[in-house]
Amino acid sequence: MSRTLLSNFLALHLSRTFHLKSTYATFKNRKATNENVPKLLSQHVPHVNPFESEMEQFIKTTHSLTGIHQFQENIISKYNSKLLTKESFDAIFMRMCLACRNYQLGKQFLHHIDQAGRQANTATLGKFLSLCYFCSAEVEDKSEVEKLCLSITDKWQEGLKLLQEDETAHYSLAMNAMVNCLLSHNHFDSAILWMDKIIAKERPISEFVYEHWLRKCAAHHNCWQIFSDFLVRGGVFLKQPIVQKLKDVLRNRSRDPFLGQFTAIDESTGRCQSCQKVLKNTDITDEEFAALRKRITEKVLLGTDVFLGSKPEEMQRFKELIKTTAPYDIVIDGLNVAYHISTKNRKQSSTKVDALMSVVKYFTNQKLRVLVLTREHLLKGVALQRMKQEAHIFITENLSRDDPFLLCAAVQSKHTKFVSDDLFRDHLFRLADFRLQAIFRLWQRRAQVQIVKIDRNGSVKFHHPPPYRTVSQFADGCWHIPYDDGTPRYSYESPTTWLCLQPKSQA
């Protein structure tokens, strides 16, 4: 379906009495109201190409797309057809979903494209829209595809209004498509605003959006400043192909070009191995920390956090503890720590307690003030008394969430570190403010200590925050941008690969 036909089709529906509330409300009347739309692929059309039979069989027999990558590689290699390539696969697969009237798999495939950070082309979107028409009874959220399709037509401003009205939307493909459209119309500030919203919803920004930004950076000198500001604030890690393109764009600029080198940073000193400059370890400001502390404390101590699930008596105990014993040097997630032992001995509660005691003593032996948050079932009797001799203890009920308590205790001082492997993504999302989320990320990377290993002899190996900020940063005329080279890493680890950019005039 061409862009013009799709635009005309949507424009027709938008002019109806539904006033953008549901484009899909007119799906059942489409044949009667739009004779100009071409006939769709029939469910019984014989296959023209040999690979279509195999693709149809796959669609009819699978309920999950976990093996779609392997299937794509195999079928392209098997038939070696100019018609079936890596670039054309998406549209052909969606066309076959349409032929099989398999809406659920088509929807999964569109989500798969989104998660891969790719842009569904107009042909793929057109087939999916047709699939929604024929399977309209199965379409649960009719507004999402409406927004997506509006973003590629002349009615994109109407789609933007729909997104603005629906603050609860978590579907990133429509938002990414709208960012792409805003960039096409040079609405750079609005594009950044929507990218902030995508990150605030803990959704990925698609690679095609970053590629579009780079094309704009090549054509508009001021775009690099806007985009680089986003990289600094957002704390995102670009993937290697995007960083390579960024390196090429900045090298070829007519004004103020940069020369880039892929490099690494000395973890102990923060020194760049390319330019020999030391990366910044700028802390969040007192004002920023106060704002973060206020928001987290309000949610926990004032009981505005319904996610906590605690009883009033438990809340009162925690308030009294904070009032009389805070601040702390270290706050430990006891339940999280207790499970950092070998799988063989994981069921032995005494071993869990020993693991927790090893971590606590690591810090108390350094004369640090420690708070341990744990559960009723973990510490009892003699073990509880031993732990009380080493640190302050707060025991939550078995059904309570302990991570909000941990965060609240940790923000009582700007200098407090906390021990946990939790990513705290749910808390990050529920801050519901991009500025506070950015502050939270910076604070978390500076304050969070993770356990790598606890040996049977009680020896503990930690992963401490590096002495520099793992975010894009500019200093002394040079840019340092961390990027994801695809190397597997633990959830608590930041990338170790960097792009060092120096002005060409200094090279």
**Chain segment 181-192, per-residue pLDDT in tens:** 888 888 898 889
Sequence-ordered list of residues with C-beta below 8 angstroms from that of 418, at least 6 positions apart, any chain:
330, 331, 332, 333, 406, 407, 409, 410, 447, 448, 449
Q: Mean pLDDT lowest for which of 64-78, 228-242, 330-344, 480-494?
A: 330-344
Using CA atoms, how far apart are residues 245 and 251, in angstroms rounded to an integer?
Answer: 10
Query: Is residue 74 pLDDT above 90, yes or no?
Result: yes
Task: Spell out the alpha helix ranges (H) of 201-311.
Answer: 207-219, 223-234, 240-251, 286-301
Token output for 86: 């890596």
Q: Where in the chain is the domain with CATH 3.40.50.11980?
A: 286-463
Task: Please write the tens of the pLDDT for every residue from 292-348.
Answer: 999 888 876 665 554 456 677 888 899 899 999 999 999 999 888 877 664 434 444
Task: Please write the tens of the pLDDT for every residue from 61-71.
Answer: 988 898 899 99
Mean pLDDT value across the chain: 78
Backbone region of residue 328 per phi and psi (left: phi > 0; alpha: psi in -120 to 50; beta: other values): beta
Percentage of residues in the chain having pLDDT higher than 90: 33
Query: Is residue 214 pLDDT above 60, yes or no?
Result: yes
What count of Cα atoms within 13 Å lies in the side-chain half-sphere of residue 122?
A: 11
Using CA atoms, how far apart are residues 316 and 114, in angstroms rounded to an integer?
Answer: 45
According to the CATH classification, is domain 286-463 in 3.40.50.11980?
Answer: yes
Could you tell me the pTM of the whole model?
0.61
Task: Please write the tens of the pLDDT for every residue from 394-411.
Answer: 988 766 677 888 999 999
Query: Is residue 209 pLDDT above 60, yes or no?
Result: yes
Q: What's the rounded mean pLDDT across residues 206-217?
A: 91
Using CA atoms, how far apart are residues 294 and 491, in angstroms rounded to an integer?
Answer: 27
pLDDT at 140: 60
pLDDT band at 499 (very low <50, low <70, confident <90, very high): very high
pLDDT at 23: 31
Per-residue HEC secondary structure of 224-239 comes to HHHHHHHHHHHCCCEE
pLDDT at 37: 36
pLDDT band at 132 (very low <50, low <70, confident <90, very high): confident
Q: How many helices (H) and strands (E) does the chain have?
A: 22, 11
